């Protein structure tokens, strides 16, 4: 985390108790926390404070969470972490496709939540460029050199397979939806043909010797997309 100033996190959540534990935990990690109970209030504060991260509850009393994301995205690229009690995949996918960067389903433990928060803050620090290098458990993917090395041996990847890894590395630690991957790799007209994607991911996992049941690298977010472990 950069030393210059404490990052500001804006909480838009109408549940007082959820705001409370989030504020305490975020402050314990040296972040500054601003709270809003209602969507309108939150949108106004986002404009005034220019936060480094917005944590947004999808079920606000005065506006649908999807609407808040769209309104924010009209003028801001600030990372948005969505909180939702819904286990409904459609809602998550809709939020992600509307421009949210990641989601956490309530009830979730604080460590899972803080991990997501850190990933989002870091990604903002680094920016999104092809300089990124991903390293984890014997795997090193260097986007500037367009290579993937597993346990010291170069992994031979097709153009599509490399494309998939590049997209996941750029969002390492964050979920990337099926639709986003399909649109990038095959074009928007294929966005519904997710079986191509499943075959592709299965091939990459084989080459990376990644066990789908207990993945070291590519985690399946059921019904939503994939996440490269951060």
Q: Pick from 20, 39, 221, 2: which is nearest to 110 by CA?
A: 20
Residue 113 CB, nearest approach to another protein (Å): 7
Minimum CB distance to another protein smaller for 63 or for 183: 63
CB of 28 to another protein, least distance (A): 5
DSSP state of 224: T
Binding stretches for another protein (CB under 8 A)? 14-18, 20-22, 24-25, 28, 37-38, 41, 59-62, 64, 85-86, 106-111, 113-114
Please name the residues in contact with 61: beta carbons below 8 A apart, sequence gap of 6 or more: 14, 38
Q: And the tokens for 102?
A: 């990641």
Q: Are 23 and 35 in contact (CB under 8 A)?
A: yes
CB of 100 to another protein, least distance (A): 17
Q: Say which residue the tokens 């993945």 belong to.
A: 215
Tokens of 167: 């997209």
User: Which ranges of the chain does DSSP label H, i.e. alpha helix?
Assistant: 16-28, 39-49, 65-73, 89-98, 110-126, 159-170, 178-185, 194-207
Distance, C-alpha 44 to centroid of its chain: 24
Kindly list the distances between the CA atom of residue 4 and the CA atoms of 1, 56, 124, 125, in Å, as whole numbers in the listed order: 9, 26, 15, 12
Name the residue nearer to another protein (CB basis): 116 or 170. Answer: 116
| Choice between 55 and 78, CB closer to another protein | 55
Q: Which is nearer to another protein, 15 or 89 (CB)?
A: 15
Smaller CB separation from another protein, 110 or 191? 110
Contact 205, 218 (CB under 8 A): yes
Question: Which of 106/140 has CB closer to another protein?
Answer: 106
Closest approach, Cβ 71 to another protein, in A, equals: 17
Spatial CA neighbour of 55 closest among 93, 87, 89, 23: 23
Instruction: Between 8 and 11, name the residue whose CB sits nearer to another protein.
Output: 11
């Amino acid at each position: 985390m950069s030393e210059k100033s404490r990052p500001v996190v804006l909480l838009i959540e109408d549940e007082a108790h959820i705001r409370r534990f989030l504020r305490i935990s975020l402050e314990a990690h040296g972040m500054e926390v601003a709270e809003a109970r209602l969507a309108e209030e939150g949108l106004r504060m986002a404009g005034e404070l220019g936060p480094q991260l917005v944590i947004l509850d999808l079920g606000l009393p005065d506006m649908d969470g999807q609407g808040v994301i769209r309104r924010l995205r009209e003028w801001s690229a600030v990372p948005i972490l969505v909180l939702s009690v819904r286990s409904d995949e459609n809602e998550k996918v809709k939020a992600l496709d509307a421009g949210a960067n990641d989601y956490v389903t309530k009830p979730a433990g604080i460590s899972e939540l803080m991990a997501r928060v850190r990933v989002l803050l870091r990604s903002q620090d680094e920016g999104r460029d092809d300089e990124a290098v991903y390293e984890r458990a014997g795997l090193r993917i260097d986007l500037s050199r367009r290579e993937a090395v597993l346990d010291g041996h170069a992994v031979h990847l097709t153009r599509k397979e490399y494309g998939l890894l590049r997209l996941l590395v750029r969002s390492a630690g964050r979920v990337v939806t099926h639709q986003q991957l399909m649109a990038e790799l095959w074009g928007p007209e294929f966005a519904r043909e997710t079986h191509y994607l499943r075959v592709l991911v299965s091939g990459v996992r084989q080459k990376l010797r990644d066990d789908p049941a207990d993945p070291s690298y590519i985690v399946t977010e059921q019904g939503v997309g994939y996440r490269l472990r951060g």
